[in-house]
Amino acid sequence: MIHAASETLKWVSDHCKASRLDPAAYIDEARLLVHEFIRKSYREIARTDQLLRGNGFPDTVSPRDVSDKERAAFSHVDQLAKAYLLSGPPAAVVASEDILELKPNLWGIGINLNAAWRRLRNKIGGR
| Bridge partner residues of 110 (DSSP) | 105
Question: Do both 88 and 110 map to the same domain?
Answer: no
Band (46; pLDDT cuts 50, 70, 90): very high
> How many domains, in total, are found in the chain?
2
Using CB atoms within 10 A of its CB, is residue 42 exposed (0-12), middle (13-18) or buried (19+)? middle
What's the chain's length in residues?
127
Share of the chain above pLDDT 70, in %: 82
CB contact at 8 A, 83 and 72: no
Q: What is the mean pLDDT of the chain?
A: 82
- Structural domain for 117, as ranges: 97-127
Question: Do both 62 and 123 map to the same domain?
Answer: no
Question: Do both 68 and 108 map to the same domain?
Answer: no
Question: Do both 13 and 70 map to the same domain?
Answer: yes
Question: Do both 34 and 89 map to the same domain?
Answer: yes
CB contact at 8 A, 88 and 22: no
